[in-house]
Amino acid sequence: MPLPAPSPDVLDFVARVAHAYAKLIASPHADPESGLGGSLFHAGEMDEEGRALVVAANIAGAATLVASPDPATQKQAIRDAVADFLVTSLDEALRILKNQLRKRETVSVCVAIDPAAMEREMNERGVRPDLLRHDAPIAPLHEALIHQEGDRDESDFTSVPAFVIWRVDPANRKNLAVLDAIALECLDANDWPARRWLRLAPRYLGRMAQDLRLLSTHREFAARFAERLNDRVGRGEIAFPYEIRS
């Protein structure tokens, strides 16, 4: 039974978030227990890229600072739970962020101000984020979001990257948990970033992740996952419609 096609916009946004998460969680600030807990991430402006960055940072566990002067963008960020708090000044934002940083807890704060004005104030006050959006004019640059990747050996099957997507019928979303459990079985025991993503991405992606999962991984996982799903179908353990592609 064919499933209704997913929205290209949803797939594009989730893929953007997954890509940003992979960059963030590769930071030396991240650890298996709290992810980026205790690290301050400056996501710049709450534009299309900034929105994906904030969601990725939430999943990674960072305390995130972002800005937007547009009331509609501010309200949408709060409505979609992309930002936890909307404040009117950097002072208010820093009070919230300092408390969450001390507790190593996730939080995202949007300041209703022009991003350039906020960044000037950050420079004047010596606010030094641990992680930065690649184009944020903050000095000094402690660490940029964009990391240079080394050469990859394409003959190594495990190193070839892949986006793996699996979906279920929207009328039976509970079945997604069955596929998620099998996906976790297919992950390497020490692949805590992927395990963290599968555990927390549905929460922070909200409605967009109700019917689908997207995992930024490698082709070995994709082959292993598909094989196990086919095996469960053959044994009659999975009798509901689903789709998997990479």
Mean pLDDT (the chain) is 89
Percent of the chain with pLDDT over 90: 74
**Domains of the chain, each with CATH number or no CATH:** 8-132 (3.40.50.10730), 157-245 (no CATH)
- Between 227 and 150, residue with greater pLDDT: 227
Phi, psi of 169, deg, nearest 5: -65, 125
Average pLDDT over residues 65-71: 97
CB 97 within 8 A of CB 41: no
Q: Are 212 and 6 in contact (CB under 8 A)?
A: yes
| Tokens coding 111 | 């300041």
Question: What phi and psi values does residue 24 have, to the nearest 5 degrees?
Answer: -65, -45
What distance in Å separates the CA atoms of residue 182 and residue 109, rounded to the nearest whole number?
A: 35
Give the phi and the psi of residue 239 in degrees, each rounded to 5: -125, 15
93 close to 50: Cβ distance less than 8 angstroms: no
Whether the predicted pLDDT of 88 surpasses 70: yes
- For residue 80, what pLDDT band results from cuts at 50, 70 and 90? very high
Q: Say whether 183 sits in a helix, a strand or coil.
A: helix
Q: How far apart are CA 117 and CA 148, in angstroms?
A: 29
Contacts of 49 (CB under 8 A, 6+ apart): 16, 133
∠ CA 183-198-80 to the nearest 5 degrees? Answer: 140
pTM of the predicted protein model: 0.88
Contact 46, 87 (CB under 8 A): no
Report the alpha-carbon distance of residue 185 to residue 54 in Å, rounded: 29
Pull the structure tokens for residue 195. 């395990």
pLDDT at 144: 44
Higher pLDDT, 146 or 16: 16
In this predicted structure, the answer to whether residue 113 has a pLDDT above a threshold of 90 is yes
Residues 126-168: tens digit of each pLDDT? 999 999 988 766 554 444 444 333 444 444 444 568 889 999 9
Alpha-carbon span 112 to 118, nearest angstrom: 9
Give the mean pLDDT of 62-66: 97
Q: Which of 113, 114, 116 is nearest to 124 (CA)?
A: 116
d(CA 208, CA 211): 8
Q: Give the pLDDT of residue 145.
A: 46
pLDDT above 70 coverage of the chain, percent: 89
